[in-house]
Amino acid sequence: MSGAVRGAPHPAAGEGGPPLIGITTYQEPARWGFWVREAALLPVPYVRAVERAGGVPVLLPPAATLRGLDTMISRLDGVVLAGGCDLDPELYGAARHPETGPPQPQRDRFELALVRAAVDADLPFLAICRGMQVLNVARGGALVQHLPDAVGHRGHAPAAGVVGSHRVRTGEGSRIGLILGASSEVPTYHHQAVSRLGKGLTAVAWAEDQVVEALELQGHRFGLAVQWHPEEGDDRRLFEALVAEAAGR
């Protein structure tokens, strides 16, 4: 990183204005009006969650070039790495499982670079679902490509296109535990998960079947990751903690 200042918030946050929170987007075919085009898009619950927590959401499309990444990082106060498609298993040295989705190399490349830049700049971030997997792979970790093979059930994504729920327990003394308490009922929709942890990452929450449900990046100002979808529920505490940290409060 050449352009970002470690731990320095955007001037707007330091002056008491709401912090700018970048949110990564999907890149998918979409339809509106007469048009069917490839689009950078994002489910609205992410935007609303940041707004309700007091932040200003800024959408970050998966750019074809990383030329402006330093500038982007230097102007944001925090980042949310959103959910979405499966990462290319070649990125963590694995053969493709039949249930793994098709690769999206542009999004993978952009988000891996983005999270590494956020780490280098000590920029607060919250990584969600795919975002947690991006963080783990960026730090040299690996993934379980299809959870039903590993745990023997589909409880983490009970029906196609339907968000389910399950309980997680959090580690004592973890930052996520301090935010959420010892256990929480969380919205869930994922068929992949962390297997080998990446460098500097600590598992801090687990489902009843021992699937890792949250990570924290040690030594980082605010580097949290959850496998569930907090934007789909009513509990705003993770977003509020991110926005508060991004605002320098």
Q: Which sequence positions are flagged as catalytic?
A: 129, 229, 231
- Round to whole Å and give the CA distance between 50 and 96: 34
Do residues 128 and 82 touch, judged by C-beta distance below 8 A?
yes
Residue 122 Rama label (left phi>0; alpha psi -120 to 50; beta): left
Residue 241 Rama label (left phi>0; alpha psi -120 to 50; beta): alpha
- Round to whole Å and give the CA distance between 38 and 20: 26
How is residue 131 written in tokens? 């975002």
- Round to whole Å and give the CA distance between 172 and 46: 28
